Amino acid sequence: MSAQPAGGLRWMEMLKNGLGAPLVVLALLAMIVVPLAAPVLDALFSFNIAISLVVLLAVIYVKRPLDFTIFPIILLMTTMLRLALNVASTRVILLNGQNGHDAAGKVIAAFGEFVVGGNYAVGIVVFAILTIINFVVITKGAGRIAEVSARFILDAMPGKQMAIDADLNAGILTREEAKARREEVRAEADFYGSMDGANKFIRGDAIAGILILFINLLGGFAVGMFQHGMPAAEAASTYTLLSIGDGLVAQLPALLVSSAVAMLVTRASRSEDMGQAVMGQAFGQHKALAVAAGVLGLVGLVPGMPNVAFLTLAAGIGYLAWKMWKRTQEGPEAATGDVPALAGPGAAPDRNAELTWDELRPVDPLGLEVGYRLIPLVDKNQGGELMSRIKAVRRKLTQDLGFLVPPVHIRDNLELPSNGYRLLVHGVPVASAEIHPDRELALDPGGAFGTIDGIPGKDPAFGLDAVWIQSHQKATAESLGYTVVDPATVMATHLSHLVREHAPELLGHEEVQQLLAQLGRSAPKLVEDLTPKALPLATVVRVLQNLLIERVPIRQLRRIAESLVEFAPQNTDPAALTAAVRTSLGRFIVQEISGMAPELPVYTLAPNLERVLQDSTQGTGAALEPGLAERLHQSLADVVTKQEARSEPAVVLVPGTVRAALARLVRHSVPSLSVLAYSEVPEDKRLKLVGTIS
């Protein structure tokens, strides 16, 4: 009893170890050469029908086409199986057809007698109809869809790669997630390219089925009359029924597999359940169901029509439309209330209770308020992805800036436009925008050609011109060179941009204390010497905020602390300490600006301009003549434009005495310009003088 399962397990292990595919191919080739008995043919025909049905059901239940990447190979194997069975059954029909309708097995006999009633004229008509449906309708349509899909997918690959790079740079994706997305893009292109070619197997199989039928008819008629001496009528009846049964038993699995191909290539690329999508989209409109019920009811009242059938259908569809209408009426009421999952747990306070200090809740460092139409984007129960995107943004910003970015408190706000949202820092709105949650944003990165229909708009983060398009236009837009992002990505990118701008406001005493506690685990003596011995905590906080204001990350906290401990005995002014820290971080700052480039392109100031700036910084603050300041801004803006055209960073190298004043002067007007002091450039860094600003 135990030997059989062990043997079965050994066979399964052999199949898993890579022997399955070669054995199947060899078996298919053997079926073409080696004669098969009628019972073996019955088993193989039954297996062919079963495997075709399994493939069709697998396509129905798969979530998205990329989850069934092995389908082109399965399509080839099933086609080879049908052709091998056609050859084997043709041999049996021609050799043993004179023995009666059961000569080629029970399956062929059943299809020849039971399915078409033993009438070969009816059988020919049924076979012709099945072949036309398979070859002209399903196979031709599926082939065209596969061809167009493959072309659009390949044309859209550069745009998708750019979108992934943009998400990676914005912190929405980690490196591992970006790598997985790139692999998915390549797999999608390979899959649709394979499907475009594999669909030719179905067309060839349909043509082969027609030719094999006529060959069997003519060959069987000739064999029956000239070799076995059968009368013409008997030979025609016998071999025609056998040929029709053989053709039908091969066309039925072919029709199932063709339908599976058509359903797979017409599926959307996003993950969704096919049954739920059909019910939600085709039968999810109560107005359409109500009109259909009314039309069926009118038809059911016409004399002479099958009144009971039409009126029953009208009543059932009308009841379904009424139920769906009731559900839509309940939806807006639920959507206008506060969102507990977003605003935080806790029951509503009792109005009769006494006021306490608990009523004064602390202001959230980061807040996001959304209009009621944007609630599905932040509600996980409705498939919203914004929460996970914000979490990824926080992780990326925490790694880049060097401190823990606080959580984003999200709540709905009925005072906002339905499609609007606004971002708050310490309770103060810093930005607002409107998006379309049912569309996607197509951005022109600079190389797009052609226009696309949609709602004109702006990218909230950078103010670029964009177009809000329908989801089905995404492939077309990407093929034209647009970068297409979904609404959740738009909001997450906007949030990332604003957090970087307001990072100094998010770093307070508590955050710095946590940073020092983390540093104290590896360098306890350094933290002990820094505060409160050398400097108070408030001064350390101010220095770190100054660094963030000048867009210098504070990841190098140990180096920063060592510099503060070194220079604190000489000067405790936060501005002077910031300059000293920048000098010690010079190599890190230059690395952030130019990366691994061997040379750093720089501009310098003309001597007269440098002297004017030095004179203006004497005393309590900078005081430039308005006309001079305007001309200086224009010159620096021209420098940035030239360097961007060269794909190089824009850097101005100045004396340390004027660096802070010049950086403060251009911080908001020319944000992409880096102002470095001579002492901040490492000695081994090669400089390339590009020009002089006068």
Mean pLDDT of the chain: 80
Report the CATH number at residue 541. 1.10.8.540
Whether 131 and 264 map to the same domain: the answer is yes
Q: Which segments of 97-116 does DSSP mark as H helices, in order?
A: 106-110
Query: Is residue 316 over pLDDT 90?
Result: no
Closest CA to 346 of 415, 390, 411, 405: 411
**In this predicted structure, what is the pLDDT of residue 14?**
53
Mean pLDDT, rounded, for 321-327: 80
Mean pLDDT, rounded, for 650-665: 88
Whether 210 and 84 map to the same domain: the answer is yes
**In this predicted structure, what is the pLDDT of residue 343?**
45
Q: Using pLDDT thresholds of 50, 70 and 90, give the confidence band for residue 207.
A: confident
* Phi, psi (degrees; rounded to nearest 5) at 147: -65, -45
**In this predicted structure, what is the pLDDT of residue 35?**
74
Closest CA to 563 of 576, 577, 548, 552: 577
**In this predicted structure, what is the pLDDT of residue 653?**
92
pLDDT (tens digit per residue) in 60-107: 888 777 777 788 888 788 888 888 887 887 777 777 766 666 666 777
Report the C-alpha gap between 181 and 170 in whole angstroms: 15
Whether 616 and 661 map to the same domain: the answer is yes
**In this predicted structure, what is the pLDDT of residue 278?**
64
Q: What letter would DSSP give residue 479? A: H
Query: Is residue 549 over pLDDT 80?
Result: yes
Mean pLDDT, rounded, for 592-611: 87
Mean pLDDT, rounded, for 362-377: 89
Report the C-alpha gap between 612 and 245 in whole angstroms: 100
Whether 407 and 453 map to the same domain: the answer is yes
In a domain, 573, yes or no: yes
Whether 46 and 110 map to the same domain: the answer is yes
**In this predicted structure, what is the pLDDT of residue 333?**
41
Whether 666 and 651 map to the same domain: the answer is yes
In a domain, 13, yes or no: no
Percent of the chain at pLDDT exceeding 90: 19
**In this predicted structure, what is the pLDDT of residue 272?**
62
**In this predicted structure, what is the pLDDT of residue 4?**
44
In a domain, 590, yes or no: no
Tokens describing residue 572: 């405790």
Whether 472 and 542 map to the same domain: the answer is no
Q: Dump the DSSP string for 596-657.
A: T-SEEEEEEE-HHHHHHHHHHTSSSS----HHHHHHHHHHHHHHHHHHHHTT--EEEEE-HH
**In this predicted structure, what is the pLDDT of residue 118?**
61
Of 558, 584, 610, which residue is a domain's last? 584
Q: Using pLDDT thresholds of 50, 70 and 90, give the confidence band for residue 251.
A: confident
Query: Is residue 553 over pLDDT 90?
Result: yes
Whether 242 and 131 map to the same domain: the answer is yes
Query: Is residue 577 over pLDDT 90?
Result: yes
Q: Using pLDDT thresholds of 50, 70 and 90, give the confidence band for residue 351.
A: low
**In this predicted structure, what is the pLDDT of residue 341?**
42
Mean pLDDT, rounded, for 630-637: 86
In a domain, 564, yes or no: yes
Query: Is residue 643 over pLDDT 70?
Result: yes
Comparing 132-146, 175-189, 336-350, 580-594, the range with the smallest average pLDDT is 336-350
Whether 599 and 654 map to the same domain: the answer is yes
Whether 410 and 482 map to the same domain: the answer is yes
Of 478, 501, 524, which residue is a domain's last? 501
**In this predicted structure, what is the pLDDT of residue 13?**
56
In a domain, 6, yes or no: no
Tokens describing residue 494: 């906007």
Number of neighbours of residue 625 by Cβ within 10 angstroms: 10
Report the C-alpha gap between 421 and 209 in whole angstroms: 61
Instruction: Give the best-scoring range by mean pLDDT among 103-112, 276-285, 373-382.
Output: 373-382
In a domain, 156, yes or no: no
Contact indicator for 101, 112 with CB cutoff of 8 Å: yes
Higher pLDDT, 515 or 362: 515
Mean pLDDT, rounded, for 557-574: 92
Contact indicator for 484, 450 with CB cutoff of 8 Å: no
In a domain, 300, yes or no: yes
Of 584, 616, 643, which residue is a domain's last? 584
Comparing 345-349, 375-379, 673-677, the range with the smallest average pLDDT is 345-349
Report the CATH number at residue 465. 3.40.30.60
Mean pLDDT, rounded, for 628-632: 83
Closest CA to 438 of 368, 497, 382, 495: 382
What lies within 8 Å, CB to CB, of 486 at 6+ separation is: 385, 440, 441
Partners of 410 in the β-ladder: 368
**In this predicted structure, what is the pLDDT of residue 21?**
63
pLDDT (tens digit per residue) in 6-35: 444 454 555 555 555 677 777 777 776 777
Closest CA to 270 of 188, 344, 327, 343: 188
Whether 223 and 322 map to the same domain: the answer is no
In a domain, 382, yes or no: yes
Whether 558 and 607 map to the same domain: the answer is no
Q: Could you tell me the residue range of the domain that residue 108 belongs to?
A: 38-139+199-278
Higher pLDDT, 331 or 516: 516
User: 663 in helix, strand or coil?
Assistant: helix
Look at the chain and report how many structural domains it folds into. 5
